[in-house]
């Protein structure tokens, strides 16, 4: 497998070209990989759509695509290193 390095700017530029449906497809692919699916069929796609709609998009307890514990940890790291960041508590 060939690893590709992306700069933050390249990644932001790429994300700016994506539509909401592209993010949904990316999330489904990441979930499928994480649970170890060896194939991805139309039936699996339907189940994944239902699960995402019911457990992610319609669930106010999951506020973000990124794990909030990770966001908090990164925020603390940058604040401790002297970077000015948004302050939330």
HEC-encoded secondary structure of 59-86: CCCCCCCCCHHHHHHHHHHHHHCCCCCC
Name residues of the chain where pLDDT drops below 70.
1-4, 58-66, 86-89
Q: Are 69 and 76 in contact (CB under 8 A)?
A: no
In a domain, 19, yes or no: yes
> Tokens 């908090």, residue?
72
pLDDT of residue 5: 72
Q: Which domain holds residue 24?
A: 8-80
Burial class (CB in 10 A: 0-12, 13-18, 19+), 56: middle
In a domain, 87, yes or no: no
pLDDT of residue 88: 54
In a domain, 89, yes or no: no
pTM over 0.85: no
- Structural domains counted in the chain: 1
In a domain, 43, yes or no: yes
């Amino acid at each position: 497998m060939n690893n590709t390095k992306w700069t933050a700017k390249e990644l932001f530029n790429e994300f700016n070209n994506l539509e909401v449906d592209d993010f949904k497809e990316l999330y489904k692919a990441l979930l499928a990989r994480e649970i170890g699916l060896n194939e991805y069929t139309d039936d699996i796609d339907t189940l994944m759509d239902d699960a995402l709609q019911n457990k992610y998009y319609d669930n106010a307890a999951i506020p973000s695509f990124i794990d909030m514990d990770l966001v908090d940890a990164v925020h603390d790291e940058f604040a401790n290193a002297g970077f000015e960041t948004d302050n939330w508590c």
